[in-house]
Structure 1
Amino acid sequence: MGTMTNLVWRQLIKEKARTFTTILAMAVAATLTVATLIGINSARHSMYQDNIQNTGGLQFVLSKVNQETALAIQKKADISESVRYQQQGQISFADQVPNQPDSPLLMLPKPALQRLIQPILLEGRLPQNEQEVMLAQDLISDVYAVGKTVAAQRNGQRVVLKIVGSYRGYAGLMASDGAVTTGHFDGTKNYAVAAAFGNYGNFYVKLKKLTAQYHVGSDQQRVNELALERAGESRDVKVRAMFVLLVIVVLSVIGLVSLALIYTSINLSVQAQTQRYGLLRSIGATPRQIRQSVYLQALTLVLPAILLGLLAGIGGLSLAFHELNRIFKASGNTFQLLLTISWWPILVSGFFMLLVTLLAARRPAKRAAQVSPIAAVRAQSASRKVSQRMLRQGMLGRFLPTPIAKLAYKHYRRLGWSKVTMMTTLALSLMIFIGFTSFFRGMLTFSDETISRQADVTITKTQSLASADFSFNPRRLPGVKRGTVTGTTQVGLKNAPQAFHDRLNVIVVSDQTFGTVFKDQPTIITGSRLVTNSKTGKRQQQWDTPKDFAGTLELANEQSNQKTLTQPMKVVTKTAAEMTDWLVSDQSGLVLSASRFRQISQALQIKNDDITYAIQVLLIKPNFHETVASALRHEVPHAALFDQIENDARGSSFQLAIQVMVYGFLTLLTLVSLANIVNHIFANLLQRRRSLAMLQSVGTTPGQIVRMLALENGFLFGTSMVIGSLLGTLLGWILHQAVNTGITMAFQVPWLEMGMAGLALLAIWGIFAGISFQIMRHQDIDQLIRVG
Structure 2
Amino acid sequence: MNIVNKVTIRHLKENKRRTLVTIIGVIISVAMITAVSTLGASFLDLMIRQHISTDGEWHVQYKDVQKEQIKAIQEDSDTKSLALSSDSYAYLEDSANSSKPYLFFQYYNEAGMEQFPITVVDGRLPENEHEIAISKEIITNAKVDYKIGDELTVEVGERVDLSENDLLTQGYPLRRDENGLAEEIVINDNKTVTIVGMIKQPTWEPSWAPGYTVIGYVDETTITEKNPVDAFVVLDKLNGSLYDHATSLADTHGIESVNFNSDLLRYYGITKNDNLRLTLFSLAGIIMAVIIIGSVALIYNAFAISVSERARHLGMLSSVGATKKQKRNSVFFEGAVIGAISIPIGILSGIAGIGVTFLYINTYLDGALGSSVDLELVVTPASILIACVISIVTIFISTYWPARKASKISAIDAIRQTQDIKLSGKAVKTSMLVRKVFGIEAEIGLKNMKRNKKRYVATLFSLVISIVLFLSVIFFTNNIKKSLEMTQNDYQYDILIYGNGDIEKEDLAKFTTLEHVTNYTISEEASGHIETLVDEANISPQMKKLLEEEILAIEDGKYSYYVTLESLDDASFEAYAEEIGVDPNDFVGQDTPVGIVIEEISYEDGMTGKLIETKAIEAELGYTLDIKEYSYSDMEMEEPVSEFVGSIQIGALTNIVPMGVNTVGLGGINIIIPQSTMAELDVDTVPYLYLTSSDPIATQAAIEELNDLNLYVYNIHERRQQEEQMLLFMSIFIYGFITLISLISVANIFNTISTSIGLRKREFAMLRSVGMTPKGFNKMIHYESIFYGVKALAYGLPISVLVMLAIHYSVNHTFEYGFQLPWISILFVIFTIFLIVGSAMLYATAKIKKENIIDGLKQENI
What corresponds to 1:137 in structure 2?
Answer: 170
Contact 1:528/1:542 (8 A) holds in 2:
no
What one-letter code is carried by the residue in structure 1 that aligns with 2:19? T
Q: What SS class does the counterpart of residue 222 from structure 1 fall into?
A: strand
Q: What SS class does the counterpart of residue 186 from structure 2 fall into?
A: strand
What one-letter code is carried by the residue in structure 2 that aligns with 1:20? L
**1:175-190 paired onto structure 2 within 5 Å:** 182=217, 184-187=219-222, 190=228
- Would the alpha carbon gap of residues 670 and 359 (structure 1) be closer, same or farther in structure 2, given more than 3 Å must change? farther
What corresponds to 1:562 in structure 2?
Answer: 637
**1:738-749 paired onto structure 2 within 5 Å:** 742=815, 747=820
Q: What SS class does the counterpart of residue 338 from structure 1 fall into?
A: coil
Contact 2:514/2:699 (8 A) holds in 1:
yes
What corresponds to 2:348 in structure 1?
Answer: 311
What corresponds to 2:598 in structure 1?
Answer: 529
Gaps of 5+ in 2: 92-103, 120-133, 140-145, 160-168, 207-212, 536-557, 570-587, 603-611, 653-657, 662-669
- Would the alpha carbon gap of residues 614 and 182 (structure 1) be closer, same or farther in structure 2, given more than 3 Å must change? farther
1:225 aligns with 2:258: no
> How many Å separate the matches in 2 of 1:731 and 1:247?
13
> How many Å separate the matches in 1 of 2:466 and 2:350?
21
1:366 aligns with 2:404: yes
What one-letter code is carried by the residue in structure 2 that aligns with 1:337? L
Gaps of 5+ in 1: 92-103, 172-177, 511-518, 578-582, 602-610
* 1:226-274 Cα shifts (integer Å, max 9, x gaps): 1111221223454344433333322221222222221222234553233
1:717 aligns with 2:789: yes
What corresponds to 1:774 in structure 2?
Answer: 847
> How many Å separate the matches in 1 of 2:496 and 2:182?
21
Contact 1:693/1:785 (8 A) holds in 2:
no
Contact 2:55/2:203 (8 A) holds in 1:
no
What corresponds to 1:250 in structure 2?
Answer: 287
> How many Å separate the matches in 2 of 1:339 and 1:425?
31
1:459 aligns with 2:514: no
> How many Å separate the matches in 2 of 1:685 and 1:247?
37
What one-letter code is carried by the residue in structure 2 that aligns with 1:720? A
What corresponds to 2:393 in structure 1?
Answer: 355
Shift of 1:660: 3.4
- Would the alpha carbon gap of residues 448 and 153 (structure 1) be closer, same or farther in structure 2, given more than 3 Å must change? closer
**1:556-705 paired onto structure 2 within 5 Å:** 556-562=631-637, 615-619=688-692, 622-632=693-703, 635=707, 639=712, 641=714, 643=716, 650-701=722-773, 704-705=776-777
* 1:489-519 Cα shifts (integer Å, max 9, x gaps): 6435799899995866688999xxxxxxxx9
What corresponds to 2:514 in structure 1?
Answer: 477
Shift of 1:333: 4.4
* 1:596-623 Cα shifts (integer Å, max 9, x gaps): 9xx999xxxxxxxxx9x6641344xx52
> How many Å separate the matches in 2 of 1:209 and 1:382?
66
**1:66-465 paired onto structure 2 within 5 Å:** 67=67, 70=70, 74=74, 80-85=80-85, 108-109=108-109, 112=112, 115-116=115-116, 131=154, 133=156, 136-137=169-170, 141-142=174-175, 150-153=185-188, 182=217, 184-187=219-222, 190=228, 192-197=230-235, 201-202=238-239, 204-205=241-242, 208=245, 212=249, 215-216=252-253, 219-334=256-371, 336-376=374-414, 378-382=415-419, 384-385=421-422, 389-390=426-427, 392-400=429-437, 402-437=439-474, 440=477, 456-459=493-496, 465=501
Cα RMSD, aligned residues only = 5.6
Contact 1:274/1:379 (8 A) holds in 2:
no
> How many Å separate the matches in 1 of 2:527 and 2:441?
81
Shift of 1:398: 4.5
* 1:146-199 Cα shifts (integer Å, max 9, x gaps): 999733445xxx8899xx99999999xxxxxx999656444565465423235x
Shift of 1:30: 0.9
> How many Å separate the matches in 1 of 2:795 and 2:721?
41
Contact 1:26/1:305 (8 A) holds in 2:
yes
Shift of 1:682: 3.7
- Would the alpha carbon gap of residues 69 and 653 (structure 1) be closer, same or farther in structure 2, given more than 3 Å must change? closer
> How many Å separate the matches in 2 of 1:253 and 1:320?
24
Contact 1:298/1:357 (8 A) holds in 2:
yes
What corresponds to 1:26 in structure 2?
Answer: 26
Contact 2:495/2:696 (8 A) holds in 1:
no
Shift of 1:388: 5.3
Shift of 1:29: 0.9
What one-letter code is carried by the residue in structure 1 that aligns with 2:170? Q
What corresponds to 1:40 in structure 2?
Answer: 40
* Deviating more after overlay: 353-362 vs 774-783: 774-783
> How many Å separate the matches in 2 of 1:228 and 1:536?
29
> How many Å separate the matches in 2 of 1:567 and 1:393?
78
Q: What SS class does the counterpart of residue 137 from structure 1 fall into?
A: coil
TM-score (norm 1): 0.74
* 1:721-763 Cα shifts (integer Å, max 9, x gaps): 3443454456556656765795655735625543454345334
* 1:120-141 Cα shifts (integer Å, max 9, x gaps): x999769997836585226764
- Would the alpha carbon gap of residues 296 and 543 (structure 1) be closer, same or farther in structure 2, given more than 3 Å must change? same
- Would the alpha carbon gap of residues 494 and 566 (structure 1) be closer, same or farther in structure 2, given more than 3 Å must change? farther
Shift of 1:33: 0.4
> How many Å separate the matches in 2 of 1:129 and 1:182?
15
Contact 2:5/2:333 (8 A) holds in 1:
yes
* Deviating more after overlay: 254-263 vs 275-284: 275-284
* 1:336-393 Cα shifts (integer Å, max 9, x gaps): 43322222222222222222222222222223323422334x5443264456544544
- Would the alpha carbon gap of residues 385 and 694 (structure 1) be closer, same or farther in structure 2, given more than 3 Å must change? closer
Shift of 1:479: 3.5
What one-letter code is carried by the residue in structure 1 that aligns with 2:598? R
Report sequence identity in percent.
18
Shift of 1:545: 9.8
> How many Å separate the matches in 2 of 1:471 and 1:388?
90
1:758 aligns with 2:831: yes
Shift of 1:768: 2.2
> How many Å separate the matches in 1 of 2:22 and 2:600?
52
- Would the alpha carbon gap of residues 285 and 238 (structure 1) be closer, same or farther in structure 2, given more than 3 Å must change? farther
Q: What SS class does the counterpart of residue 82 from structure 1 fall into?
A: strand
Contact 1:557/1:564 (8 A) holds in 2:
yes
Contact 2:595/2:651 (8 A) holds in 1:
yes
> How many Å separate the matches in 1 of 2:502 and 2:704?
20
Residue correspondences, number: 727
